[in-house]
Structure 1
Amino acid sequence: MQKNKPKKKRETIDVVANVIIIFFAILNLFPLYWLLTSSLKNSSDVLKMPPDWFPKTISLSNYVDVFQNQPAIRWAFNSIVVSLVTTIAVIIVSSLAAYAFSKLNFKGKNIIYIIFISSLMIPKEVMIVPLFRIIQNFHMVNTLQGMIWPNVATAFGVFLLKGFFDSIPDSLREAAKIDGAGEFYIFYKIIMPIVKPGIGALFILNFVQVWNDYLWQLIVGQDASSKTLMVGIASLMQDLNPNFAYKMAGATVAAVPMLLIFLFFQKYFTKGLAIGAEKG
C-alpha cells in the first residue's frame, strides 16, 4: 500500500500539470481564434457587447474585399519572396561561416568570431539610417533586393549553427579526409545532413523574423507595388474605414503563412530546440 501511494501522488501531479498546460495553451490560442472568428463576422458583430463567442452567420465577404480592393496577392508574393530568399541566403552564408569557425583553423578565428557575436548586441534600429543610405546609393529603394540583402548580414545564424557543428566529432571529418574527400564535399555531403535540425530551427526563426520585419520593409518599400503583406495590412489599420471585420480578415491573411511554415517545419524546429537544450 505504501508503494502505491507515491505512484498515485505522481499520477495526481501529472493530471494537475496537464490540466494547467492545457488551460494556458487554450489561453494562448484564444487571440488567434478571436481573430479568425471576427474576420468571418460583420463589422457591427465584432463590436457587439456582450460578444458572440461563436459567429451566428459566417461570411467570406471580408476576405473577398481584401483581395479585390487591395493588391493583397502582390503583397503576399513580395513577402514570400523576401522571406524565402532571405532565409535561404542566411542558411547558406551562416552554415559556411559556422563550419569555418567550428572546424577550420585559421589565424584570428576566435577574435573574428567574438566580433561576429558582438554585433548581436547592436539593435537593428541603430543601423536603419546608414543602411538606408547604402540602399539609396545602390538604387535599391522600392525593390525587393533592398529588403533582402541587409537581412542576410546577420550573425545569429552563425551563432546558432556553430553549436551544432561543434557537437560533430572531428574524427568524422578526419576520416573523410583520409578517404580523399575534399573540404566542400565533407561540408555538403557529410556534415550538413547531420545538422538538419539546426537548419530547420534557423529556417523558422529567420523566416518569421523577416516576415515580421515591419520597420525596414516600410522604409524600403514605399510604392504600393513594392509593399509586403505586413506593411500593406498595416495600412488597412490606418485607414478611416470602420469595418473592423475587414481589418481582421487582413490580419488573418498575414498570419496564415506563419502557421503553415511552423506546421511544415515543426519536426525540425522541436528537434533542434531539444538538441540545443541537451547541449545547454
Structure 2
Amino acid sequence: MAKLQGKKKRDSYDVVANIVIVFFAICNLFPIYWLFTSSLKNSSDVIKMPPDWWPKTFTFSNYTEVFDSQPALRWTFNSLYVAGLSTILLVVTSSMAAYAFSKLRFKGKMVIFVIFISSLMVPKEVMIVPLFRIAQDLGLVNDLHGMIWPNVAVAFGVFLLKGFFDSVPDALREAARIDGAGEVRTFLQIMIPIVKPGIGALFILNFVQVWNDYLWQLVIGQEKEMKTLMVGIATLMQDLNPNFAYKMAGATVAAIPMLIIFLLFQGYFTRGLAGGAVKE
C-alpha cells in the first residue's frame, strides 16, 4: 500500500515537473518563433497592435532584400570560416594539452595547469586593447585570421577535456604500451574515441561562442567585406531604416546556422555534459 502511494506521489510530481518544463520551454522558444514569423510579414504588420500571432500574408522579399542589398553571403562565409576553423584548431590543441595534463608526468605539471586555468578568470574584454595592438603589428586587422587565433588559445577546452581523460582508466594506456603502441597512437586510436562525447560538447560550445563573438570581430573586421554575419546584421539594426521585417529577416539568417549546428551535435552535447560530470 505504501509503495502504491509512493508511486502515485512520484507520478504526480513527474506530471507537475513536466508541465513546468514545457512552460519554460515555450517561453524560451517563443522569441525564436516571433523572430521567424515577423521576418515573413510586412514591416507595418510587425509593429501592429494587437499583433498578428501568425502572418496573414507570407512574403520572402525581406530575405531577398537582405542578400541583394548587403553582402550577406560573404558575411555568412566569413562567420562559418572563422567559427569552424577556430573550433577545429581549439579541439586539436585542447585535446593534446588535456591529455598531457591528465596522463603524462612532467615536472611542474600541476603548477602549470593551475596557472593555465587561472586565465579563465580574466575576461576577454580586458585584453581587447593589447590583443588589438598585437594583431595590428602582425598585420591581422581586416583579416579573418586575426579573428581566429585569439580564440584558439583558450583554457576552457583544456579544462573540459581533462575531466574526460581523467575518467579513462590508466590500465588502457598501459595495455596499449605493452602491445607496442606509442604515445601518438595511444592518443589517436584509444583515447580520442573514448572522449568523443567531450569533443562534441566542446565543438558546439566553442562554435557558438565564436559565432557570437561580436566585440572582437567588430574590432578586427573594420571593412564591410571583412565583417562576420553577426556584425553585419548588427549594422542593419543600427540603421534608421524603419523596415523592421527586413531587420527580422537578417536576424533570422544569423540564427539559422546556430540552430542547425545544435541539431547536428545535440547528441554529443548532452552526452558530453553528462559524461564530464562522472569521475572514476
* TM-score, with structure 1 as normaliser: 0.98
Which segment drifts farther, 270-279 or 28-37?
270-279
1:244-255 superposed matches below 5 A: 244-255=244-255
Amino acid in the other structure paired with 1:83: A
Q: CA deviation at 1:2?
A: 5.2
Q: What's 1:205 paired with?
A: 205
Q: What's 2:178 paired with?
A: 178
Question: How many pairs does the alignment contain?
Answer: 280
Whether 1:5 and 2:5 are equivalent positions in the alignment is yes
Amino acid in the other structure paired with 1:159: F
Measure, in 2, the Cα distance between the counterparts of 1:58 and 1:217. 34
- For the residue of structure 1 that corresponds to 2:50, the secondary structure is coil
Q: CA deviation at 1:11?
A: 1.6
Amino acid in the other structure paired with 1:28: N
Per-residue deviation, residues 191-237 of structure 1 (Å, max 9, x unmatched): 00000000000000000000000000000000111100000000000
Measure, in 2, the Cα distance between the counterparts of 1:40 and 1:203. 32
Q: Is the 8 A contact 2:35 2:248 kept in 1?
A: yes
1:1-280 superposed matches below 5 A: 3-279=3-279
Measure, in 2, the Cα distance between the counterparts of 1:5 and 1:156. 46
Measure, in 1, the Cα distance between the counterparts of 2:66 and 2:271. 37
Amino acid in the other structure paired with 1:177: R
* TM-score, with structure 2 as normaliser: 0.98
Measure, in 1, the Cα distance between the counterparts of 2:77 and 2:277. 36
Amino acid in the other structure paired with 2:21: I
Measure, in 2, the Cα distance between the counterparts of 1:6 and 1:107. 55
Q: Is the 8 A contact 2:142 2:222 kept in 1?
A: yes
Q: CA deviation at 1:278?
A: 3.4
- For the residue of structure 2 that corresponds to 1:11, the secondary structure is helix
Amino acid in the other structure paired with 1:74: R
Amino acid in the other structure paired with 2:243: N
Amino acid in the other structure paired with 2:236: L
Measure, in 2, the Cα distance between the counterparts of 1:202 and 1:3. 43
- For the residue of structure 1 that corresponds to 2:277, the secondary structure is helix
Q: Is the 8 A contact 2:166 2:279 kept in 1?
A: no
Q: CA deviation at 1:3?
A: 4.3
Measure, in 1, the Cα distance between the counterparts of 2:177 and 2:279. 27
Amino acid in the other structure paired with 2:261: I
- Aligned-residue Cα RMSD (Å) equals 1.1
Q: Percentage identity across aligned positions?
A: 73
Amino acid in the other structure paired with 1:255: A
- For the residue of structure 2 that corresponds to 1:32, the secondary structure is helix
Measure, in 2, the Cα distance between the counterparts of 1:27 and 1:113. 40
- For the residue of structure 1 that corresponds to 2:141, the secondary structure is coil
- What are structure 1's unaligned runs of at least 5 residues? none
